[in-house]
A and B are shown apart, each in its own frame.
Chain A
Amino acid sequence: MRTIRWLPLLASIALLPAKDSCVECHSNLDGNLQRPAALFKGDVHAVSHLSCAGCHGGDANSDDPTVAMSPAKGFRGKVARTGIPKLCASCHSDPNYMRKYRPQQRVDQYQLYLTSVHGKRLEKGDARVATCIDCHSVHDIRAVKDAAAPVHPLKLPATCGHCHADAARMASYKIPTTQLEEYRGSVHWEALTKRGDLSAPNCASCHGNHGAKPPNVESVAAVCGSCHVLHEKFFAQSVHNAAFPSGQGGGCMVCHSNHGIHKPSTAMLAGKDAVCSQCHEADSNGGKMAVQAARRLDGLANALQVSEQQLALADKFGMDIAEAQLRLIEGKESLIKARLALHSFEEQEVGKPVDAGLLIAKETKAAADAALHEKDVRRIGLAASVLFIAVSILALWFLIRRIETNGSATLTRRTIL
């Protein structure tokens, strides 16, 4: 009976995390020696009840510092930068070990790292390149989905930029440092931060994360095409694919650039800032086609806009234009298809969706005009009805007056029954 009474207490003791003398002692120290212990409380490893000794060696169960930090107990102290990836990989590349904590997590990070520019340079003894802790932080490592993690999609560009936007650090590598600034002006950054679309491309989406390297050498179109599938398909069939093969640093980048990708518009096709005019003379076939394509796309966009405005006006007056609004969505899809087809650089390919969209714009504009006309008819009908009602009320009033002035005992004094 007495044993049963103690069982809950025993069970709670068994569930307590193991003793960690490293955190206990370092929490009472100052400055740099105290900081890791303070940070470690929020670390993903601490949450999984792993101790400092997992990386630094030693005996976390001993209260005696000479024993706890004894080389005999495997204490290795501060890990050298060049040894960090291998140390992390000792657990993270072991599928049997990782299965206990994160069964679905990949275990090929170290293998990928070795293929990266960072990994290759580290192998050659360059300790200034990024290792695991430069991106994931140290002592306060958090899961990628944790908004406070430096590798969270919203924070990753700044994390990469920490080194790659540092001109002094990048000087010896002869790498430009404008990528972060350019990226922050791009449509991808806008999608990520303004629309809150965490799936929007960040540095790792194109360059890879653990296997990070510039993609322009092998496969720009393939990188862009991993999201922009149809654009890639049209481009692959176009004359430009042969003229600017992506393997030679061409492809999408030629027109759209890389990090600072702006929202595309027809100004890229025609006008003083046209990208096409960089290669095509204005009176050449390519130049003429670019101007023609811009004109057709603008024409469709304007026609759809006019229809939308007219429909919005009809909607404001309470007219039912739901069918036309649905049709207008199809028209907007045609515009998207036309913009897509532009990547084939074939006039006929662009013309098909433009013509289909213009037809829809015409239809929906007609529907909006009909709704607005119907609104006017209703108002006229209402005015006529109100006039009729007013006349009827007036006639009734005169009738009452006539009846009551004729003295046919209209108002009487009576006792209520």
Chain B
Amino acid sequence: MIAERTINVTSAWLQDRLGWRTLKEVASHKTVPVHSSTHWYYFGGISLFLFTIQIITGVLLLLYYRPTVAEAFDSVRFIMTKVEFGWLIRSIHSWSANLLIFMVFVHMFSVIFTHAYRPPRELTWGSGIALLGVMMAFGFSGYLLPWNTISYFATKVGADVAASTPFIGEGLGRFLRGGDDVAGATLTRFFAFHVAVLPAAAIGLLMGHLLLVQKNGMSTPPWISMEKVRQMRFFPNFFLRELMVWYLALGVLGSLAAIFPWELGEKADPFAPAPAGIRPEWYFLAPFYTLKLIPSHVLFMEGELLGIFGFGLLAALLVTLPAWGVRKDGSAKTRMVNGAAILLASYLVVFSILGYVK
């Protein structure tokens, strides 16, 4: 009786100040299309869940991590060996980062293959691609933070590639490294990117992305008849299913962290020669291997420059997909887009494997 009254009073208090019943009203009307490809909708939610895990574990790591050359490695070692459950937090953060990027890729390809980029969802697509870029930047900047041998030399390679970008390369390289080489200044600014700049960008983009999804609703694939498609209420039906998937993701994440704890490796020694087999994180393997394959000179161009032009073109094609992948009447050029997506997915898978093996 008292509890019911308390709830009612609180609810009225909040309603007066926030008008939260309007939100509740909106949420109660939100629906999700039910068809043969509905399961692909879950990947956006899983990505969101993993991003939340990243924020929580990242804040916990911040309590002990020290972003200096002298202390970075030892502070991570301290987290893993001395801090209660530090090993779990750090391992979950690393595994979750990788799973997050994988899920964002899956989400992106699901959007391409279900042609959800069609009008009026161009901005949703664009913000999603920007989020993918931000997530990869998170990965690149976070990789250096433990200051171990592999991450140090992989970052050197990555920064060198960025520095060979035409026109802006020199400035970009110096901006990323904070000097001519990867050193303490690089670590400080990578830390700043990782914990301040990128989270702000990610949260802003994510809010926009979610608002656009809310505004335009869930897209239905073109082969599903829109007249006959069934709808499921988002709250509670779809949300509870989403919650089940999140629990599953948490179970997978916990298992990976406990059974395969993320290794720390050896402290980086900038004066030591680069060890054999230096390679970046798996999501940069395909471009890394491509750059390795391109000869030093192709016609009048430097090989590396050609590679960067190629990746730039690929990124431009990806961002402008709603422009070239859609007919004037708003329908998707399904064959062309599917063909291009299969090509892209095959390239990424094959070159990543080759980059890992060779």
Query: What is the CA–CA distance of A404 and B241 in the complex, to the nearest angstrom?
Result: 12
B77 proximity list for chain A (CB < 8 A): 320, 322
Query: What is the CA–CA distance of A413 and B81 in the complex, to the nearest angstrom?
Result: 56
Query: Are A386 and B254 also in contact (CB < 8 A) when A319-B261, A322-B264 are?
Result: yes
**A417 pairs with B241, CB closer than 8 A:** no
Per-residue CB proximity of A365-402 to B under 8 Å, as 1/0?
Answer: 00000000000001101100110011011001101100
**A320 pairs with B80, CB closer than 8 A:** yes
Q: Confirm or deny: A273 has a beta carbon within 8 angstroms of a beta carbon on chain B.
A: no
The residue from B31, B243, B247 contacting A414, defined by CB atoms under 8 A apart: B31
Query: Are A400 and B233 also in contact (CB < 8 A) when A320-B77, A415-B227 are?
Result: no
A130 → B minimal CB distance (Å):
42
Q: Confirm or deny: B250 has a beta carbon within 8 angstroms of a beta carbon on chain A.
A: yes
**B87 pairs with A320, CB closer than 8 A:** yes
**A396 pairs with B87, CB closer than 8 A:** no
**B247 pairs with A410, CB closer than 8 A:** no
Query: What is the CA–CA distance of A393 and B241 in the complex, to the nearest angstrom?
Result: 9
Q: Confirm or deny: B10 has a beta carbon within 8 angstroms of a beta carbon on chain A.
A: no
Q: Confirm or deny: A285 has a beta carbon within 8 angstroms of a beta carbon on chain B.
A: no
**B233 pairs with A389, CB closer than 8 A:** no
Q: Confirm or deny: B231 has a beta carbon within 8 angstroms of a beta carbon on chain A.
A: yes
**B248 pairs with A320, CB closer than 8 A:** no
Query: What is the CA–CA distance of A409 and B230 in the complex, to the nearest angstrom?
Result: 12
Q: Confirm or deny: B236 has a beta carbon within 8 angstroms of a beta carbon on chain A.
A: yes
Query: Are A378 and B217 also in contact (CB < 8 A) when A318-B263, A393-B247, A412-B230 are?
Result: no
Size category of the A interface is 20 to 34
A403 proximity list for chain B (CB < 8 A): 236-237, 240
Size category of the B interface is 35 or more
Q: Confirm or deny: B62 has a beta carbon within 8 angstroms of a beta carbon on chain A.
A: no
The residue from A322, A382, A400, A413 contacting B255, defined by CB atoms under 8 A apart: A382
The residue from A379, A396, A397, A416 contacting B258, defined by CB atoms under 8 A apart: A379
Please give me the residue from chain B that is nearest to A374 by CB atom: B87
B34 proximity list for chain A (CB < 8 A): 411
Q: Confirm or deny: B226 has a beta carbon within 8 angstroms of a beta carbon on chain A.
A: yes
Within 8 A of A (CB), among B213-262: 217, 220, 226-233, 236-237, 240-241, 243-244, 247-248, 250-251, 254-255, 258-261
**B231 pairs with A396, CB closer than 8 A:** no
A414 proximity list for chain B (CB < 8 A): 31, 229-231
A16 → B minimal CB distance (Å):
35
Say what secondary structure dominates the interface of chain A: helix
Query: What is the CA–CA distance of A396 and B243 in the complex, to the nearest angstrom?
Result: 8
**B251 pairs with A385, CB closer than 8 A:** yes
B249 → A minimal CB distance (Å):
10
**A323 pairs with B233, CB closer than 8 A:** no
Q: Confirm or deny: B142 has a beta carbon within 8 angstroms of a beta carbon on chain A.
A: no
Please give me the residue from chain A that is nearest to B250 by CB atom: A389
**B229 pairs with A416, CB closer than 8 A:** yes
Per-residue CB proximity of B179-221 to A under 8 Å, as 1/0?
Answer: 0000000000000000000000000000000000000010010
Per-residue CB proximity of B26-40 to A under 8 Å, as 1/0?
Answer: 000001011000000
**B247 pairs with A400, CB closer than 8 A:** no
Please give me the residue from chain A that is nearest to B263 by CB atom: A318
Query: What is the CA–CA distance of A415 and B227 in the complex, to the nearest angstrom?
Result: 6
**B33 pairs with A416, CB closer than 8 A:** yes
**A400 pairs with B240, CB closer than 8 A:** yes
Query: What is the CA–CA distance of A403 and B31 in the complex, to the nearest angstrom?
Result: 16
Query: Are A386 and B255 also in contact (CB < 8 A) when A318-B260, A320-B264 are?
Result: yes
Query: Are A382 and B254 also in contact (CB < 8 A) when A400-B240, A404-B237, A416-B220 are?
Result: yes
**B231 pairs with A323, CB closer than 8 A:** no
A411 proximity list for chain B (CB < 8 A): 34, 230-232, 237
B217 proximity list for chain A (CB < 8 A): 416-417
Query: What is the CA–CA distance of A396 and B239 in the complex, to the nearest angstrom?
Result: 10
B8 → A minimal CB distance (Å):
22
For this complex, 26 residue pairs linking A to B, each with C-beta atoms less than 8 Å apart, are A318-B259, A318-B263, A320-B80, A320-B87, A320-B261, A323-B81, A381-B258, A382-B255, A385-B251, A386-B251, A386-B255, A389-B254, A393-B244, A397-B244, A400-B240, A403-B236, A403-B240, A410-B233, A411-B230, A411-B232, A412-B31, A412-B232, A412-B233, A413-B230, A413-B231, A414-B31
9 A-B pairs closest in CB distance: A318-B261, A382-B258, A389-B251, A414-B231, A396-B244, A378-B258, A393-B247, A393-B244, A400-B240
Could you tell me which A residues sit within 8 Å of B by CB distance? 318-320, 322-323, 378-379, 381-382, 385-386, 389-390, 392-393, 396-397, 399-400, 403-404, 409-417
Could you tell me which B residues sit within 8 Å of A by CB distance? 31, 33-34, 77, 80-81, 87-88, 217, 220, 226-233, 236-237, 240-241, 243-244, 247-248, 250-251, 254-255, 258-261, 263-264
